[in-house]
Amino acid sequence: MIPASISDYRALARRRLPTFLFEYIDGGAFSETTLARNQSDFHEFTLRQRVLRNVDQLSTRTELLGQSVSLPLVLAPVGIAGLNARRGEVQAARAAQSAGIPFCLSTVSACSVEEVAAGAEPGFWFQLYMIRDRGFLKAMLDRAWQAGCRTLIFTVDMPVPATRYRDIRSGLSGGSPLRRKLRRTAQALVKPAWAWDVGLLGRPHSLGNIAPVLGKGAGIDEFWRWMADNFDPRVRWEDMAEIRRHWQGKLIIKGILDAEDARAAAGTGADAIVVSNHGGRQLDGASSSIKALPAIARALGDDMDILLDSGVRSGVDIVRALALGAKGVMIGRPWVYALAAAGEHGVAEIIELLAKEMRVAMALTGVTRVADIDASVLYTRA
């Protein structure tokens, strides 16, 4: 298959990856209704086609949190993404930086923040959760700063891990440790390209940033146990003040779906928020991100920048999100599909794919600058 769309890269990733890895990327919480609505709800916002508008000097270049970018797009943090290709987060960071957009590394990445810093240029973003062990949390902030990260995304919609049925069925979680390990091994053996490239040549395997606390020889099962034990369900808005005091760079709060929470986030001293439902991986039955965006944009006005995450699958979706009040969007699954399918080259291809689609959508709605994309390009108003 010659991939022409993100759905094609998804199909290629499914062919190449062991089942437990593909289902981890692709799945959502419980019955996955929010996961589905994240994409389908975009289509309710119809673009207003305009013609004869002189769109010769069109540009997707803009600024996100003071950083000049080639298009309003960020590669979102995705847990254990580096297992989908050899040293995968390093490859993705290089592709993003070559394209002129930000890459954000997850706390629970396969490659450590130091490895990504050594393999890519300085300036990538870092993501963190509220961890019970505040000593580890502050040490992780210091490691990210020393690695050259100056933008922190703090994820707040995971006080407890959700149940994901696909992960239980695939052997990634649930059941006995021995049975899980046997199922994952069997799945890897029937995917020889992945087993060779990642399973063998991709060694050493570890959960990069948390490897020191997991201990030598720890694997995925120890990772799940650590997550369950260390996410902090006691976290409150007041705890964000501690993060703001410790972190001297840009601070983004990710996981906002409600206008009241958006106003609370604005009071923390954060520089931006991400309207997100964790890709439909946490609260099934919650609003899609695109449906939540307009009310949040009205509540915040110009108080802080807004990014949108969850459900973006095309450059047309980027234009819709900007028209509804976002300054930029984040993608998670799309870049991981592309990474699994074709490594760094695949990630570069989907970035360029989204850029081309966005340019077409801008031209046919009659705008030439990202700053000019607003509600006037939509027929369906929020």
Residues acting as catalytic residues? 278
Yes or no: say if 121 and 92 are a contact pair by the CB < 8 Å rule.
no
Q: Which two tokens stand for residue 110?
A: 């396969």
The closest alpha carbon to 351, from 126, 106, 98, belongs to 98
CA distance 17 to 120: 25
What's the CA angle centered on 240, arms 239 and 241, to 5 degrees?
A: 90
Classify residue 161 by its DSSP letter.
P
Pairwise CA distance, residues 43 & 65, whole Å: 28
Hey, what's the torsion of the CAs at 96, 102, 104, 109, to 10 degrees?
Answer: 20
How far is the C-alpha of 337 from the C-alpha of 11, rounded, in Å?
8
Residues 6+ apart with CB under 8 A from 31: 165, 284
Contact 22, 335 (CB under 8 A): no
Omega within 30 of 0 (cis) for the link into 72: no
CA-to-CA distance for 38 and 310, rounded, in angstroms?
Answer: 6
C-alpha triplet 219, 182, 332: angle, nearest 5°:
55
Q: In the structure encoding, which two tokens stand for residue 146, read together?
A: 């020393």
Give the DSSP H/E element, type plus range, for residue 301.
none
Alpha-helix residue ranges (DSSP H) falling in 17-161: 19-26, 33-40, 88-99, 113-119, 134-146
DSSP 93-125: HHHHHHHT--BEE-TT-SS-HHHHHHHS-S--E
Report which DSSP code applies to 195. I
